[in-house]
Amino acid sequence: MIQPCCDKTSAEAHFSGISTMILETFTRVFVDADALDRTAAFYKALLKGEETLRFDYPETGLKLAQVSSPGLSVLIIAGPPERRKPFEATRLTIKVSALEEAMAVLLAQGAEQLEAIQKTPVGRKMRFRHADGLIVEYVDHETG
Protein backbone atom coordinates (compact mmCIF):
# COMPACT_ATOMS: atom_id res chain seq x y z
CA MET A 1 0.00 0.00 0.00
CA ILE A 2 1.32 3.45 -0.90
CA GLN A 3 1.44 5.92 1.95
CA PRO A 4 1.03 9.66 1.29
CA CYS A 5 4.19 11.63 1.97
CA CYS A 6 2.68 14.51 3.81
CA ASP A 7 -0.42 16.34 4.88
CA LYS A 8 -2.04 17.59 1.66
CA THR A 9 -3.31 20.76 3.31
CA SER A 10 0.15 21.86 4.49
CA ALA A 11 1.74 20.95 1.15
CA GLU A 12 -0.88 22.96 -0.73
CA ALA A 13 -0.33 25.95 1.54
CA HIS A 14 3.44 25.68 1.14
CA PHE A 15 3.38 25.68 -2.68
CA SER A 16 0.23 27.67 -3.41
CA GLY A 17 2.16 30.82 -4.35
CA ILE A 18 4.35 29.26 -6.99
CA SER A 19 1.76 26.94 -8.53
CA THR A 20 -0.46 29.83 -9.55
CA MET A 21 2.38 31.54 -11.41
CA ILE A 22 3.81 28.56 -13.34
CA LEU A 23 2.47 28.59 -16.89
CA GLU A 24 4.51 25.77 -18.48
CA THR A 25 7.57 23.62 -17.73
CA PHE A 26 10.05 22.54 -20.40
CA THR A 27 12.65 19.83 -20.46
CA ARG A 28 15.66 20.98 -22.49
CA VAL A 29 17.10 19.20 -25.53
CA PHE A 30 20.44 20.26 -27.07
CA VAL A 31 21.14 19.62 -30.77
CA ASP A 32 23.35 20.81 -33.59
CA ALA A 33 21.98 23.73 -35.63
CA ASP A 34 21.11 21.53 -38.61
CA ALA A 35 18.97 19.25 -36.41
CA LEU A 36 16.51 21.92 -35.18
CA ASP A 37 13.78 21.31 -37.79
CA ARG A 38 13.84 17.51 -37.59
CA THR A 39 14.00 17.56 -33.77
CA ALA A 40 11.00 19.91 -33.58
CA ALA A 41 9.12 17.69 -36.04
CA PHE A 42 9.97 14.58 -33.98
CA TYR A 43 8.63 16.08 -30.72
CA LYS A 44 5.53 17.49 -32.44
CA ALA A 45 4.69 13.98 -33.69
CA LEU A 46 5.67 12.16 -30.48
CA LEU A 47 3.82 14.51 -28.14
CA LYS A 48 0.99 15.39 -30.52
CA GLY A 49 2.07 18.92 -29.68
CA GLU A 50 2.47 22.24 -31.41
CA GLU A 51 5.55 24.33 -32.07
CA THR A 52 4.59 27.38 -30.02
CA LEU A 53 7.73 29.49 -30.35
CA ARG A 54 10.87 29.72 -32.47
CA PHE A 55 13.49 32.42 -32.34
CA ASP A 56 17.12 33.27 -32.96
CA TYR A 57 19.17 34.29 -29.93
CA PRO A 58 21.96 36.23 -31.69
CA GLU A 59 23.84 37.13 -28.49
CA THR A 60 24.44 33.43 -27.87
CA GLY A 61 24.71 32.14 -31.44
CA LEU A 62 21.79 29.77 -30.82
CA LYS A 63 18.33 29.10 -32.24
CA LEU A 64 15.51 27.92 -30.00
CA ALA A 65 12.16 26.25 -30.61
CA GLN A 66 9.56 25.07 -28.15
CA VAL A 67 7.08 22.26 -28.65
CA SER A 68 4.18 22.33 -26.21
CA SER A 69 1.70 19.62 -25.26
CA PRO A 70 -0.45 18.92 -22.21
CA GLY A 71 1.79 16.07 -21.04
CA LEU A 72 5.28 17.41 -21.75
CA SER A 73 6.84 20.49 -23.28
CA VAL A 74 10.30 20.56 -24.86
CA LEU A 75 12.67 23.49 -25.39
CA ILE A 76 15.08 22.69 -28.23
CA ILE A 77 18.36 24.61 -28.12
CA ALA A 78 20.30 24.37 -31.37
CA GLY A 79 23.77 25.49 -32.29
CA PRO A 80 27.42 24.48 -32.29
CA PRO A 81 28.53 22.46 -29.22
CA GLU A 82 30.81 25.24 -27.96
CA ARG A 83 27.87 27.71 -28.01
CA ARG A 84 25.49 25.25 -26.28
CA LYS A 85 27.93 24.23 -23.54
CA PRO A 86 27.23 27.18 -21.15
CA PHE A 87 23.51 26.29 -21.22
CA GLU A 88 23.74 22.52 -20.69
CA ALA A 89 23.96 22.57 -16.88
CA THR A 90 20.45 24.06 -16.79
CA ARG A 91 18.05 21.10 -16.93
CA LEU A 92 14.60 22.77 -16.94
CA THR A 93 13.01 25.96 -18.17
CA ILE A 94 9.91 27.12 -16.31
CA LYS A 95 7.69 29.79 -17.85
CA VAL A 96 6.05 31.93 -15.17
CA SER A 97 3.61 34.81 -15.19
CA ALA A 98 6.12 37.19 -13.52
CA LEU A 99 9.79 36.67 -12.65
CA GLU A 100 9.66 38.90 -9.58
CA GLU A 101 6.94 36.78 -7.97
CA ALA A 102 8.84 33.55 -8.72
CA MET A 103 12.05 35.09 -7.36
CA ALA A 104 10.39 35.95 -4.04
CA VAL A 105 9.19 32.35 -3.58
CA LEU A 106 12.53 30.85 -4.65
CA LEU A 107 14.57 33.04 -2.30
CA ALA A 108 12.18 32.37 0.59
CA GLN A 109 12.69 28.63 0.00
CA GLY A 110 16.49 28.91 0.04
CA ALA A 111 17.21 28.68 -3.68
CA GLU A 112 20.44 30.35 -4.84
CA GLN A 113 20.17 32.95 -7.59
CA LEU A 114 22.80 32.24 -10.25
CA GLU A 115 21.77 34.83 -12.82
CA ALA A 116 19.96 38.13 -12.40
CA ILE A 117 16.95 39.00 -14.52
CA GLN A 118 18.10 39.63 -18.11
CA LYS A 119 16.32 40.57 -21.34
CA THR A 120 15.95 37.93 -24.05
CA PRO A 121 14.62 38.23 -27.61
CA VAL A 122 11.15 37.16 -26.37
CA GLY A 123 11.00 38.45 -22.78
CA ARG A 124 13.19 37.97 -19.71
CA LYS A 125 15.03 35.18 -17.86
CA MET A 126 16.86 34.34 -14.64
CA ARG A 127 18.52 31.20 -13.27
CA PHE A 128 18.42 29.56 -9.84
CA ARG A 129 19.96 26.52 -8.18
CA HIS A 130 17.33 24.75 -6.11
CA ALA A 131 18.20 23.32 -2.69
CA ASP A 132 18.62 19.86 -4.27
CA GLY A 133 21.19 21.21 -6.77
CA LEU A 134 18.89 21.33 -9.81
CA ILE A 135 19.63 24.37 -12.00
CA VAL A 136 16.50 25.91 -13.50
CA GLU A 137 15.94 28.82 -15.87
CA TYR A 138 12.80 30.87 -15.21
CA VAL A 139 11.34 32.94 -18.05
CA ASP A 140 8.47 35.30 -18.68
CA HIS A 141 7.50 36.22 -22.21
CA GLU A 142 6.34 39.56 -23.49
CA THR A 143 2.78 39.62 -24.73
CA GLY A 144 1.35 41.77 -27.44
Residues 47-96 have pLDDT tens digits of 999 999 999 999 999 999 999 999 999 999 999 999 999 999 999 999 99
Q: How confident is the model at residue 12 (pLDDT cuts 50, 70, 90)?
A: very low
pLDDT exceeds cutoff 50 at 117: yes
Q: Assess whether pLDDT exceeds 90 at residue 108.
A: yes
Mean pLDDT of the 119-140 span: 96
Q: What is the pLDDT of residues 18-46, one digit of tens each?
A: 556 899 999 999 999 999 999 999 999 99
At residue 128's C-alpha, the angle toward residues 117 and 47, to 5°, is: 95
**CATH top-level class for 17-141?**
alpha beta
* pLDDT, position 142: 84
Q: Give the Cα separation of 81 and 84 in Å (integer).
A: 5
**Rounded to 5°, angle at Cα 71 from 66 and 75:** 20
Helix, strand or coil, per DSSP, at residue 18: helix
